[in-house]
Structure 1
Amino acid sequence: MPPNRPTPAAAARAAVAAAANVTRGIEQALISATEASKPRTSAESDGRKQRWERHKSQRREQLVDGTIEAISALGADAGMDEIAGHIGVSKTVLYRYFTDKGDLARAVSAAYFQQRLLPNLLEAIVDDRIEFQQARGIITAFVTTVAEAPQVYRFVSNGATSTFDEPEAVVIKLINALIAARLTARESDVRGSTIWSYAVVGATRNVVNWWTAEGSDASADEVIDYLTMLLWSAVVGIAGFDGSRERFFAAPPPLPPVGS
């Protein structure tokens, strides 16, 4: 390998640093969007406003943590009354710090991603293991994190009110950086890396959505194993053609003979 070519682990760490900047801004962006619609205060009240903002940020964090505990206990469909009651506050208090349930869900999504899912994914991504072990480790990190708090995952990710789009975009960027780095290390074509990254994350998320929503009797190990079989087989196929769609379509690989 040429000396200036980054290793897969180094490329992944660079992507991690970029992703950290994105995720740190998610919650602040949500707060800023809410504050932007409010009238400006005079210079005399700046000190009071800053104290209120610090208090509000701390209080929002406390209420988000309480909401995560409430959703874990009550389920993903819990309403604001139920959430407030479980936390031990009135619904009025929730609406003092969150404009509506959607605002609360976005804050929960940011916290869930930053505190639970992202650290587990990063640990798997930056671990410069053999490719198969790394691929399985990434799938395992996602599935086991969801399995630890399935109701919270459903609360932030399911249906038309999903608040998981921004965190998912960060995961796609991380996977894309990893795939591109692995292909580059093999001197392979990287043009398909973005499409493959969306496919990997989309397939994994769709399976996990089904698994948590339908009450499947499949175990976490089964979900991890079958996802690994599917995605690793795709990786092997792509690597066999050096990432080139031209080479693939020039000689598409046949299925093995029946019974082989």
Structure 2
Amino acid sequence: MAKNAVQDNEQVDGPVVADAKPEKSDGRKRRWREHKIARREELVDGTIAAIRARGREIGMDEIASEIGVSKTVLYRYFADKSDLTTATMMRYVETILSPRIYEAISGDLDDFELTQASITAYVETVASDPDIYLYVMANGAGANRDVVADSERMIAELLSTVLGNRLREMEMDSGGSLPWAFGIVGGIQLATHWWISNKSMSAESLIDYLTMMTWGGITGIAAVNGSPAKFKSVPHPLVKPAED
């Protein structure tokens, strides 16, 4: 059973007294909403622990058993498995993935170190919780897919801000910051998804390859001051490095 098991002793609201004063009724509703939010978070945390314990193929019966409640309790707070999965993904992004990426980019790093640290944070976070990631992605349809897309958008917009500010500091064209950021985040996310599904190389190798690709793109942008016109005006031979 999950470490922070919760007890199956849920109580539902009793009937509202007909002659109760409106403010008392509103107070009860507010307290119930607050209780429901807190209880959902508790059950989601229990779900994350259950997935870690039993793997990404876990079903609702197993989740309920691992948490220590009946399945009826889960359906009291979540409409269906999709609703629970959406809440789980949101919790994962808000409490695990995003904080680690924010921490990585908030350090006193040079541009290359920042690039490497961001990629490392993403890959290592997914690698440290593969069952959570794969559970969410396997059930990632409809609203669940929207949550995944929202998390990617949030990271891309953050990267766009960092990239745009840096280019402007260097008096370069920052007009492409947003598409560049979405391209970088999308490429890294897709490559990491491929990797976590088959593990055909080490995490360190994946990080190195993704860093090479990303940094190569950034230096290419910097070489033409971020200008598409300048980029198109010069040749782009694939240069073979000189032999040692």
How does the TM-score come out when normalised to structure 2?
Answer: 0.84
What is the percent sequence identity of the aligned residues? Answer: 44
Contact 2:176 2:226 in 1 (8 A): yes
Q: Choose between structure 1 and 2 for higher RCO, CA contacts under 8 A separated by at least 6 residues.
A: 1
Once residues 184 and 157 of structure 1 are traced to their aligned partners in structure 2, the CA distance between those partners, rounded to angstroms, is 37
Structure 2 counterpart of 1:197, from 177, 181, 184: 181
Once residues 114 and 173 of structure 1 are traced to their aligned partners in structure 2, the CA distance between those partners, rounded to angstroms, is 16
Structure 1 counterpart of 2:165, from 176, 181, 189: 181
Aligned to 2:89: 109
Aligned to 1:135: 115
Gaps of at least 5 residues in structure 2 are 1-20
Report Cα offsets for 1:121-166 as digits up to 9, x if no partner: 1112222311000000000110111111111112223443533121
TM superposition shift of 1:45: 2.1
1:219 is aligned to 2:222 = no
Contact 2:104 2:118 in 1 (8 A): yes
Aligned to 2:226: 243
1:83 is aligned to 2:63 = yes
173-182 vs 67-76, which moves further? 67-76
Counterpart AA for 2:46: G
Counterpart AA for 1:46: D
Provide the alpha-carbon RMSD of the alignment: 1.7
Aligned pairs for 1:153-192 (under 5 A) are 153-158=133-138, 159-160=140-141, 161-162=144-145, 163-192=147-176
Larger Rg: 2
1:71 is aligned to 2:51 = yes
Report Cα offsets for 1:160-197 as digits up to 9, x if no partner: 35331212211111011011011111111111111111
Once residues 91 and 186 of structure 1 are traced to their aligned partners in structure 2, the CA distance between those partners, rounded to angstroms, is 57
Please list every run of at least 4 consecutive aligned residues from structure 1 whose deviation after the TM superposition is greater than 6 angstroms. Answer: none
Counterpart AA for 2:44: V
181-190 vs 159-168, which moves further? 159-168
Find the residue that maps to 1:164 and give its secondary structure.
helix
Report Cα offsets for 1:99-124 as digits up to 9, x if no partner: 11111111111111111111111112
Gaps of at least 5 residues in structure 1 are 1-41
TM superposition shift of 1:259: 6.6
Contact 2:152 2:186 in 1 (8 A): no
How does the TM-score come out when normalised to structure 1?
Answer: 0.79
